[in-house]
Amino acid sequence: MSRSVIQLNITCIPQEDYFGSPQFYSTSMHIVSVIATPIHSLGLFCILFKTPDQMKSIKFYLLVLHIWVMAFDYSLTLFTIPFILAPGLAGYSLGLYKYFNVPFMIQVIIILALFAWMMFAAVSIFENRFYTICTFSWKKHWSFWRRPWLAIHYIGDVILLIPVAIFVPDQKTALIKTYKRLPCLPQEVYEAPIVVAADDYTYHFIAAFFGVILITSEIFFFVGFLVSNSIQQLKQKTMSQKTYNMQKKLLIALVIQSFVPMTFFMFPLVYGMVVVIKEYYNQAIVNILFINGSMHGFVSTLAMLFLHRPYREATLNIFSVLQKKPSPEISHNVVSNNYVPRNSTRRVQVW
């Protein structure tokens, strides 16, 4: 940190706010990580050992999605814990990576890459349902192109992230501009190894907008084609009502599993656009929204566990409390009270 940057804020008195402090943010992220670990472990167990034969074709895709969800979760809540100074794209790490001197921009790139790969894994699940269930004339050609299609997503994401890593501004100048846009901050923030990722957000917004449109349109295409083609097969009697109902339930569960956790990212994204446009700073809100977004992973896993019947039953069996067997004395009393002599006219009602 340059002395000139510190001089800009040396005479101010920061407003104390625990919810906006690095301590609150770091502690909350660690708590989320601790809560998520057993949930992720249970989800991994169910996918590996409790997936029924009816879901074998989707097992691998669920596993890939779950792995990326866990990787993103731990990258955000344990290894990086990015403390972001919005509205500027600046911040520093509070996670384990800082002890290994991993550059902050590398940490940011890892988080962004894992987030994108998590989205691609979700799309691949719907593509798998589309390819497995739907009947269409060009299915033979799609069976060849579907793997290159998915590979292009991952390669394209890496290409889009290269400019994010390359076009990092001069830090001394960027830090001065960033601090001029912010109110008085605690001294520990000024002394932190803050990195300004960008001073021009045009490319970042265009890349993010393109990614959101691409993922959303692909999911809507696959889901829409699945619904219409399944109904068509049902009418043509090439699909039984039982199979249709089973596939319908699975599709609904997958849609809910994918979109409900996405709401945890919706508020941070909307708020991010607002603060950039309005130049508004509130560190407490930023911290809380990032904590909210970090809960996406275990919410997604919980949704998977309770939306898919085999996983729900396995989970309930694991956590069910075994009923205690009645003691011999109690059993004897019960038998005695319900004993009816041979000549008795007493009626016994069986429930």
Q: What are phi and psi of 91, to 5 degrees?
A: 170, -170
For residue 196, which phi and psi values (nearest 5 degrees)? Answer: -95, 115
pLDDT in tens, 47-81: 999 999 989 999 999 999 999 999 999 999 999 99
Q: Give me the pLDDT at residue 319, please.
A: 85
CATH at 109 = 1.20.1070.10
Share of the chain above pLDDT 90, in %: 67
Domain membership flag for residue 88: yes
8 φ/ψ angles, rounded to the nearest 5 degrees: -65, -25
* Residue 220 covered by a domain: yes
pLDDT, tens only, 165-217: 988 999 999 999 999 888 888 989 999 999 999 988 889 889 988 998 999 99
CA-CA distance, 280 to 203, in Å (whole number)? 21
**pLDDT at position 17:** 87
Q: Which pTM was predicted?
A: 0.86
Q: Range of 260's domain? A: 3-8+23-314
Instruction: Name residues whose C-beta falls within 8 Å of residue 277's C-beta, 6 or more positions apart in sequence.
Output: none
Structural domain contains residue 345: no
Q: 327 falls in which pLDDT band (50, 70, 90)? A: low
In this prediction, residue 328 has a pLDDT band, given cuts at 50, 70 and 90, of: low
How does pLDDT run across 228-244, given as a tens digit for each residue? 999 999 999 899 999 99
Q: What is the pLDDT of residue 8?
A: 53
Backbone Cα Rg of the chain? 27
Mean pLDDT of the chain: 87
- Give the integer Cα–Cα distance in Å for 72 and 78: 10
Q: Would 13 be classed as within a structural domain?
A: no
Helix (H) or strand (E) holding 195: strand 195-198
Question: 212 in a domain, yes or no?
Answer: yes
Determine, yes or no, domain membership for 351.
Answer: no
Task: Identify whether the C-beta of residue 96 lies closer than 8 Å to the C-beta of residue 78.
Answer: yes
How many CB atoms neighbour CB 290 within 10 A? Answer: 20
Backbone angles phi and psi of 195, in degrees to 5: -120, 130
Q: What is the pLDDT of residues 6-26, one digit of tens each?
A: 455 456 778 778 999 999 999
Condensed to tens digits (0 to 9), the pLDDT of residues 295-308 reads: 999 999 999 999 99
Report pLDDT for 99: 95
**Lookup result for tokens 């798998």:** 128
d(CA 300, CA 292): 13
339 lies in a domain? no
Domain assignment present for 324: no
Helix, strand and coil content of the chain, in percent to the nearest 5, comes to 75, 5, 25
**How many domains, in total, are found in the chain?**
1
